[in-house]
Homo-oligomer: A and B are copies of this chain.
Amino acid sequence: MSDLKVSDRATVDMDSWVCPVPLRDSPNIVMGHGGGGAMSGELVEHLFLPAFGASAVAGLSDSAVVSVGGVRLAFSTDSFVVKPMTFPGGSIGDLAVNGTVNDVAMSGARPLVLSTAFILEEGTTLASIAHVAEAVGAAAQIAGVKLVTGDTKVVDSGHGDGVYINTSGIGIIDEGIDIRPERARPGDVVIVSGDIGVHGVAILSCREGLEFGTTIRSDTAALNGLVADMIATGADLHVMRDPTRGGVAASLNEIARSAGVGVSLSERALPVPPEVRDACGLLGLDPLYVANEGKLLAFVDPADADKVLAAMRNNPLGGRAAIIGSVVAEHPGMVVAKTGLGGTRVVDLPAGEQLPRIC
C-alpha cells in the first residue's frame, strides 16, 4: 500500500544520513545557508535535490514555468523573515507581495494571484499584525494582483519572531515570450533598473545600534509594470532577474553559470547612491552584494538596448536605469568587473550572508 511507504520512513535512523562533502564544514544549519549565495546553493544542490529525488524538477529555481492545459504559467514561492518587521520604506508585508510578484514577473509573466500564509508568534500584538496585513493589501492593490487563498498558523512564544509570511504567486506568460537565464549570450547588454544596495542598507540602518545619520528607505516595489513596459517595446529580452539576497553579484553569477557565459561589468557604470556608498564604506560592505527589493537586471539583445533603456527610464521605477556591462564569451561562468582605477577584479558568488534576514 503506497501510504505505508511514507509511514515506515519515519522510523529511519537519523544518524544513518551521511552529510555530502560540500556541506561538511558544519553538521548544522548556519545563517549563511539562508543568504542566497554559494552556501544556499550547496544546500539545494547537495541536500534538497538529492532528498527530493525524482519528485523535483532540475534546478528548483526562484520561479517555475508550468504548462497547464495549453497555458504557460509562472509559479513562484518565497517566505519572508525580515527583521525588523517594519523598516524605513516598508514592512514585511510589502516585501512579501513585491518579492513574489517580482519573481513571477522575471520570467516575463503577468502576475495574477497570490496566496498568503502567516506564521504568527504567540504574544504578538494584533495591531502590528493588522498593519502588516494592511501593507499586504495595499501592495497587492498597487501590483494589481488578487489575494485568493491563505493560511494562518500560530507558534508558541519563543519559536517565531512576530510574523513570518509566505507568498506564492501565479502569472501567465503570453505567447512569444521566452525569458530565462539560459538565454544570456555573448554580446548581450546588461541593464540595471536603478540604484543598487538600497534595501539592504535600509534594513541595516534601522537595526539597533547602527545609525548612519541619514535615513535610507527600502526600494521595495512591484516591478511587473516596468516589465510590461519593457516587453511592450517588442525587444528581444533574454534574461531578467531581481537581485535580492546576495545582490547584483549573486544574480549575475547565477546567470553566468546557467548560460555558460561570462559577464563583464563596469564598476563606474553602477548606480550607487552616495548614502549607500557611505554606509557600505563604514561597514566594509560591497554594494554589489547588498540586497535590492525593487530593482531588476535585464540581459538584452544589443540591437534593442536603446529602446529598452528608453522604456525603462519612462517608468518611475526605472528612472535611473543604466547599462552596467555586457555578456562575453570569455571566462564562462564568471563575473569580472572593470574597476574605477582601470584594473579588473573577479566578482565572486558570495559564500554566505552579509546581512542576515533582510527579506
Contacts and interface: CB of A to CB of B under 8 A. Distances in A.
Nearest to A357: B155
B6 A131 contact: no
B172 A131 contact: no
Contacts of A75: 113, 115, 148-149, 170
Contacts of A81: 119, 153, 155
Interface stretch (A84-92, A275-283, A297-305): A84-92
A112 interface: yes
User: How many copies, total?
Assistant: 2
A127 B221 contact: no
Nearest to A98: B6
A236 interface: no
Contacts of A91: 9-10
Interface of A is mostly: mixed
Given A78-B117, A126-B19, A166-B166, A141 B68 contact: no
A44 B149 contact: no
Interface in A20-79: 23, 26-35, 40, 43-44, 47-48, 51-57, 60-64, 66, 68-71, 73, 75-79
B122 A61 contact: no
A264 interface: no
B127 A17 contact: yes
Interface stretch (A157-165, A178-186, A331-339): A157-165
B89 A28 contact: no
Contact of A56 (B17, B121, B146): B146
A80 B164 CA distance: 12
Interface stretch (A132-140, A252-260, A306-314, A320-328): A132-140
A31 B154 contact: yes
Contacts of A17: 126-127, 130-131
A116 interface: yes
A221 B5 CA distance: 10
Given A10-B87, A78-B151, A125 B68 contact: no
A334 to B, nearest CB: 25
A6 B221 contact: yes
Contact of A142 (B5, B14, B136, B147): B5
A147 B6 contact: no
A53 B137 contact: yes
Contact of A221 (B3, B116, B133, B152): B3
Contact of A79 (B1, B112, B166): B166
B55 A141 contact: yes
Given A44-B150, A133-B47, A133-B48, A14 B119 contact: no
